[in-house]
Amino acid sequence: MSARDEATPGADARPGTATGSGTGARPGTGTRPVAASPADPTIPDRVCVIGAGSSGIAACQVLGAQGLEYDCFEKGSQVGGNWRYRNDNGQSAAYRSLHINTSRRLMEFAAYPMPESLPDFPSHFQIAQYFDDFVEHFGFRDRIRFRTEVLRVVPGEDGAWEVTVRDADMGDEGELMTHRYRAVIVANGHHWDPRWPEPGFPGEDAFAGERMHAHAYDTPDVLEGKRVLVLGIGNSATDIAVEASRIADATFLAMRRGAYVIPKYVFGKPLDEVQARIAGRIPVPLPIQRTSAAAMLRLSTGRMTDYGLPEPDHRLLSAHPTISSELLGRIGHGDIAIKPNIEAFTGGRTVRFSDGSEEEIDLVVYCTGYRIRFPFLAEDLVPTADNHVPLYRRVVPPDLPGLFFVGLVQPLGAVMPLAEAQSEWIADLLNGETVLPPPDAMRAAIAEEEGEMRRRYVASKRHTIQVDFHDYLRLLRRERRRTEGDPVVARRRGGLVGRVRELVGGGAS
């Protein structure tokens, strides 16, 4: 059976078979374009996808459609990752009341629109069902190895990638199996490893009340009848503070800086749909986006200080958006009191804030974000310190040919269509339809993008993988047209006409 035949959706999937334990990294310092995968015929012509969350299933669908062989390993017993409530992978952050905050039309895969019967902002149950339907529709569920955890990914001496897996139900008793692949796509998610304040607050270990991270929050019964302090002003904090305000004895929302709280709807439409009408068609310079978004927010909502929230210390679109249509109303009802950051836990249940005020607190919910981690990759291979992962276009480590990352973006917009577009680019690279720039050029582009991110965003570990939804889609389309002077690729992409189009086409598609 040819590779193309075997990749037919629904065909039997057999993990690559050869085993080995090479560990050597291959830093590429030259300036030649990086090959997307080795040409060595002894390396199995298969791709490994790690994770079957929304990013992993996007990659599987695209690989299958582009005739590429793959195995997908998933730790849990179902697809959907974060969107599978009480996922038996133990990693989902979904709480009972969670709904998406990016509207469904912006979140759906291009290859499989969400049904019109769904609301604008479906619940996690509906989103998980959509992902199930997606996998059924394209017929690749049997290509996913469920309850199989990837433990180790190492580059072999010969250019193959060696992936060691274990039956998740067997734990330490499970047999280790190593498979070889021409490429590995990492889609293990970045919202599963809770980040607690670093360093912790003075006196917190002696606090007599309870402390939990938003990742462990599920249903509001844990808030009932308590004096609850929610820390942070991201989307977890606003959702949990709103829930607490209805059931807790008292709710305090503490933050170290202010945020613009953006409504889900403006002018009767989901905000991101309104924004997409122009930004989806043509690139809109940031100052214009800022001015129009600020005007829209001022008209629809007013100033943050009107509600007793601190004035943000940054401009709009310089922080990951905090989206809530409920928070400001709950503050207005007097059911949420605003506090500055925690200063210290001063004994018993007393919490002192940085303005010197103190409150008796029964439960602190830390909504302080997540760490990016790849437990199966050596830190010196792919560094993750302070959530900085040096990837070209947020997908390609310049010195590790054949390794790719999908879904490792924090968009002003939804992740799923971006993961789908990243997968299409990867498939083109693997099929030789396009090329990467030389490693030096990729490293320079990474440095430039990091510089831009630093200049634009509030300095915070939550702002290391930010992208603008529409601009990023345009960027990926441009990458897919790259021929970099490679005559074979240029011919494949339409000869002289394709080359000229690439040169004059520039940014937007």
Ligand X SMILES: NC(=O)c1ccc[n+]([C@@H]2O[C@H](COP(=O)([O-])OP(=O)(O)OC[C@H]3O[C@@H](n4cnc5c(N)ncnc54)[C@H](OP(=O)(O)O)[C@@H]3O)[C@@H](O)[C@H]2O)c1
Contact residues toward ligand FAD (CB under 6 A) are: 50-56, 73-76, 81-83, 89, 91, 93, 98, 100-102, 107, 149-150, 187-189, 191-192, 236, 376, 407, 414-415
Coil vs helix vs strand at 72: strand
Which of ligand X, ligand FAD, none binds 232 (CB below 5-8 Å, type-dependent)? ligand X
Shortest distance in whole angstroms from residue 184 CB to ligand X? 25
- The binder of ligand X chosen from 191, 394, 481, 499 (CB under 6 A): 191
Q: Where are the beta strands (DSSP E) in 247-300?
A: 250-254, 261-262, 265-266, 269-270
| Residues from 401 through 460 that contact ligand X (CB under 6 A) | 410, 458, 460
- The binder of ligand X chosen from 234, 258, 398, 407 (CB under 6 A): 234
Are 264 and 270 spatial neighbours (Cβ–Cβ below 8 Å)? yes
* CB nearer to ligand FAD: pick between 265 and 307: 265
| C-alpha span between 446 and 440 (Å, rounded) | 10
Shortest distance in whole angstroms from residue 168 CB to ligand FAD? 8
Q: Which stretch binds ligand X (CB under 6 A): 18-26, 141-149, 253-261, 293-301?
A: 253-261
Which helix (H) or strand (E) element contains residue 430? Answer: helix 416-430
Shortest distance in whole angstroms from residue 39 CB to ligand FAD? 28
| C-alpha span between 24 and 136 (Å, rounded) | 39
Q: Is 233 in the site for ligand X (CB under 6 A)?
A: yes
Q: Is 390 in the site for ligand X (CB under 6 A)?
A: no
Q: Which stretch binds ligand X (CB under 6 A): 242-250, 266-274, 351-359, 361-369?
A: 361-369
| C-alpha span between 438 and 90 (Å, rounded) | 40
Are 300 and 263 spatial neighbours (Cβ–Cβ below 8 Å)? yes
Give first-to-last CA distance, the chain, whole Å. Answer: 37
- The binder of ligand X chosen from 46, 145, 147, 462 (CB under 6 A): 462
Are 48 and 57 spatial neighbours (Cβ–Cβ below 8 Å)? no
| C-alpha span between 144 and 255 (Å, rounded) | 42
Q: Where are the beta strands (DSSP E) in 248-321?
A: 250-254, 261-262, 265-266, 269-270
- The binder of ligand X chosen from 50, 160, 237, 248 (CB under 6 A): 237
3-state secondary structure 82-114: HHCCCCCCCCCCCCCCCECCCCHHHHCECCECC
Residue whose C-alpha is closest to residue 349's, from 196, 201, 204 = 204
- The binder of ligand X chosen from 69, 162, 239, 471 (CB under 6 A): 239
| Residues from 319 through 348 that contact ligand X (CB under 6 A) | 319-320, 341
* CB nearer to ligand X: pick between 55 and 148: 55
Shortest distance in whole angstroms from residue 423 CB to ligand FAD? 11
* CB nearer to ligand FAD: pick between 264 and 330: 264
Q: Is 257 in the site for ligand X (CB under 6 A)?
A: yes
Q: Is 270 in the site for ligand X (CB under 6 A)?
A: no
| C-alpha span between 203 and 479 (Å, rounded) | 51
* CB nearer to ligand X: pick between 168 and 319: 319
Which of ligand X, ligand FAD, none binds 197 (CB below 5-8 Å, type-dependent)? ligand X
Q: Which residues of 334-364 are buried (b: 16+ CB within 10 A; e: fewer)?
A: ebbbbbbebbebeeebbbbbeeeeebebbbb
* CB nearer to ligand X: pick between 255 and 435: 255
Residue whose C-alpha is closest to residue 53's, from 462, 423, 471, 476 = 423
* CB nearer to ligand X: pick between 185 and 230: 230
Where does this chain bind ligand X (CB under 6 A)? 100-101, 191, 197, 214, 231-237, 239, 255-257, 319-320, 341, 367-370, 410, 458, 460, 462
